[in-house]
């Protein structure tokens, strides 16, 4: 179960109420007309789970694997990486997931050194099928591990891409297993498509329950039972020029990759030029409590009043560790927590920080998970995707394109086309 508390110190006026009504209608239209396909993934992807489980149970190569190597970047890796990080402690027997994302030669070679080809399954993921970082790392994998694409080695490669993409044609040519991504699902909204469901299912996670949690949120939202989402989106859209940064403070180490996923989802979706030609979009920032209370919190408390803060908290960590009742000479100031659990400490820090931030007049909202499990993670993913779509609708932008990242890609191509002499 997840609870959502809005403590924004703001009430919707008539204009904001009109924005909420219009935005909700926009999302209903997007769902009915197939403008954005992520609304249907919690139901549609159940078939992928069944197919992957059947395929894996009959495939000797997969049965001998202990490592799932994901070759992808951005939306092709961040979602699955976030779910893996959050659930890993609950699945000690799950296959290891290793992510090859960044074309950093040191990072790539260090990870290569931990991979045994005979015990690994390689998933190359690219919606377009031409992502330069992903394809370059894929080539390095083929070369380093001497993978014979026309021999038995192709059994340890799976591609996930758009139907008809260059990568799709490549795997068809070699007879390599492939799963497709719906054309109307963008990369950053794709975690519950084959992009995330295939690797997570192969790793051994309960992806059916993950999808069920997401499906429940979709159903409740379109049944008009999640008004807090509309209110929060309206606050952000109406006040983003005042509160230019939305800070996610997540109070669990395993939520760090989720915070990175949120930053990509938010930044790539909402940083746009609106229909009137204005540059819009609140800046996302993801931080981990209580670690970043000792750094970024100072900026929130006494820096510019241009931030809103979301506190993401876990009620029960499911593992108990007590702070020993030990008195150490000269450092007794910390003894007030002796005998309490670390679960109590981190959540008390979250609550104390939230109250202190509110006293400074910073708009705050809280998301509390009763525990970290598959259903809650699925709901949380859909919560942020729906919030992003609502905010985009209220900002009058196209939430699902990303024209701002294309220029750098074109410059990169021209750089290499010029050759060594420029």
Indicate which residues carry an active-site annotation. Answer: 268, 294, 409
The closest alpha carbon to 267, from 410, 397, 102, 130, belongs to 397
Q: For residues 388 and 399, is the Cβ–Cβ distance under 8 A?
A: yes
Q: At what angle do helices 374-394 and 78-87 cross, to 10 degrees?
A: 140
| Token reading at 273 | 């030029």
Residue in the block written with tokens 């979706």 = 269
Nearest to 192, CA basis, from 261, 97, 283, 121: 261
Find tokens 């309490």 and name the residue: 340
Sign of CA dihedral 11, 14, 18, 19: negative
Is residue 80 within 8 Å of 196, Cβ to Cβ? yes
Give the CA radius of gyration of the chain: 23
Q: Is cis: bond before 172, omega within 30 of 0?
A: no
The owner of tokens 């109070």 is 251
| Neighbouring C-alpha atoms within 13 Å toward the C-beta of 277 | 0
Cβ atoms 97, 196 nearer than 8 A: no
* Cβ-contact 28, 176 below 8 angstroms: no
Which two tokens mark 375? 């259903």
Helix (H, G, I), strand (E, B) or coil at 286: strand
| Element of type H or E holding 369 | strand 364-369
What residues are paired with 287 via a beta bridge? Answer: 249
Q: Contact 286/250 with Cβ under 8 angstroms? A: yes
Burial of 15 per CB tally in 10 Å (0-12, 13-18, 19+): exposed
Sheet holding 120-126, edge to edge: 96-100, 67-71, 120-126, 157-162, 177-181
The two three-digit tokens of residue 294, written as one number: 């000792």
DSSP β-ladder status, 245-251 and 307-314: parallel
Distance from C-alpha of 242 to C-alpha of 92, rounded to nearest angstrom: 45
- Tokens standing for 22? 């219009």
């Amino acid at each position: 179960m997840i609870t959502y508390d809005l403590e924004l110190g703001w009430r919707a006026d008539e204009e904001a109420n009109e924005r909420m009504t219009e935005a909700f209608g926009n999302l209903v239209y997007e769902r009915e007309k197939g403008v954005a396909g992520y609304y249907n993934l919690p139901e549609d992807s159940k078939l992928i789970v069944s197919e992957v489980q059947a395929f894996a149970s009959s495939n000797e190569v997969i049965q001998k694997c202990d490592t799932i190597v994901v070759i992808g970047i951005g939306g092709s890796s961040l979602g699955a990486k976030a779910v893996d990080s959050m659930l890993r402690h609950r699945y000690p027997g799950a296959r290891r997931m290793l992510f090859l994302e960044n074309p950093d030669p040191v990072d790539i070679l260090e990870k290569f050194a931990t991979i045994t080809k005979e015990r690994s399954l390689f998933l190359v993921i690219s919606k377009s099928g031409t992502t330069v970082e992903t394809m370059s790392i894929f080539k390095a994998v083929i070369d380093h591990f001497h993978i014979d694409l026309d021999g038995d080695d192709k059994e340890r490669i799976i591609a996930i891409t758009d139907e008809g993409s260059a990568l799709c044609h490549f795997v068809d040519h070699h007879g390599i297993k492939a799963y497709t991504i719906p054309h109307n699902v963008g990369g950053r909204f794709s975690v519950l498509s084959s992009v995330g469901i295939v690797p997570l299912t192969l790793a051994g996670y309960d992806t059916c329950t993950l999808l069920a949690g997401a499906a429940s949120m979709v159903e409740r939202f379109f049944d008009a039972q999640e008004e807090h989402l509309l209110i929060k989106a309206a606050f952000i859209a109406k006040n983003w020029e005042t509160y230019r940064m939305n800070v996610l403070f997540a109070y669990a180490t395993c939520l760090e990759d989720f915070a990175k996923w949120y930053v990509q989802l938010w930044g790539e979706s909402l940083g746009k030029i609106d229909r009137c030609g204005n540059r819009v979009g609140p800046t996302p920032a993801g931080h981990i409590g209580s670690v970043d209370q000792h750094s970024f919190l100072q900026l929130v408390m006494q820096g510019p009043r241009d931030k809103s803060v979301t506190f993401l908290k876990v009620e029960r960590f499911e593992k108990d560790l007590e702070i020993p009742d030990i008195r150490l000479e000269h450092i007794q100031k910390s003894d007030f927590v002796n005998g309490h659990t670390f679960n109590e400490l981190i959540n008390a820090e979250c609550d104390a920080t939230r109250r202190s931030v509110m006293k400074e007049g910073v708009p705050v909202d809280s998301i509390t998970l009763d525990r970290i499990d598959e259903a809650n993670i699925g709901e949380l993913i859909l919560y942020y995707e729906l919030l992003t779509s609502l905010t985009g609708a209220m900002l009058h932008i196209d939430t699902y394109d990303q024209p701002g990242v294309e220029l750098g890609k074109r410059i990169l191509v021209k750089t290499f086309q010029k050759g060594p002499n420029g």
